Amino acid sequence: MRAPVVSAPRLYPPRAASNGRIGPVSEGAGEGGLRRLGLFGGSFDPVHVGHLHAARAARDAFGLQRVLFVPAARPPHKPGRTLAAAHHRRAMLELALAEEPAFVVDPLELSRAGPSYSIDTVAEIEAREGGPEAVELFWVLGSDNLAGLESWRSVEELLQRVRPVVVGRGSDLRSRFDRLRAKLGSRLVSRLEDGLLDLPPVDAAATDLRERLACGDASGGLLDPRVLEYARAHDLYAEAP
């Protein structure tokens, strides 16, 4: 089931706290209603147009006042791959989001020791934003993340604390939901299905982009020019992953 489209509220620029971390999202709250905040996690190695396409769609469909891009320090489900340094991935995100006033980089996972578990991030952001009585969290994830989702830490609690927004399109989505239903139960999988955004695909994958950059190829317009320039200037993907 596709979620109903709601009217987007006025968008406000991100506001940093005095300590350099992201401050509470207090601007733009609807009268008498919860503030709506999107969380978009990932390695962003590198950030590409597909990421922004998904974030814009979630923002528009669910009336999100802000979308936080949360780069992972150590993704627990990618233990075998070395990522570009955290400060480089953060810098590329800031370049890509520079002209998107509703999007902001939140570095909380980069400053937290250990693997980057989504449930820990949700709990920290929820507390920072005033709790569930003040903010409604929308968790944006690509449909490829459905594979193995049942193994994520405290995934049942995670799906209860957020409204998941599943971005994707494909004939195998139904089978993915069915497999999850057998493991997580109908109630939790219904939350995932209710947040499905069936979008035209953007042919962008970070793995392919890293391979192309390692071979000296251009990104084919899949990277913001400033991100491409930064990656080349710092020789980030000189070797194929």
The per-residue pLDDT for range 77-121, each reduced to its tens digit, is 666 678 899 999 999 999 999 999 999 999 999 999 888 999 999
Query: What residue segments make up the domains of the chain, in order of their start?
Result: 35-204
The per-residue pLDDT for range 25-65, each reduced to its tens digit, is 444 454 448 999 999 999 999 999 989 999 999 999 999 99
The per-residue pLDDT for range 112-159, each reduced to its tens digit, is 988 899 999 999 999 999 999 999 999 999 888 898 999 999 999 999
DSSP letters for 134-172: TEEEEEEEEGGGGTTGGGSTTHHHHHHHSEEEEEE--TT
Compute CA 148 distance to the chain's CA centroid, rounded to the nearest angstrom.
17
Q: How far apart are CA 4 and CA 197, in angstroms?
A: 10
Residue environment code for 63-75, b if the CB has 16+ CB neighbours within 10 A, otherwise e: bbbbbbbbbbbbb
Residue environment code for 151-176, b if the CB has 16+ CB neighbours within 10 A, otherwise e: ebeebeebbebbbbbbbbeeeebeeb
Q: How far apart are CA 219 and CA 145, in angstroms?
A: 24
Looking at the domain that runs over 35-204, which CATH code has it been given?
3.40.50.620
DSSP class of residue 103? E
Residue 240 has a pLDDT of: 55
Residue 11 has a pLDDT of: 28
44 Cβ contact list (under 8 Å, min separation 6):
51, 69, 71, 89, 92, 93, 206
Residue 114: Cβ-neighbour burial (10 angstroms; 0-12, 13-18, 19+): exposed
Question: Maximum Cα–Cα distance for the chain, whole Å?
Answer: 54
182 Cβ contact list (under 8 Å, min separation 6):
none
Tokens of 184: 């997580």
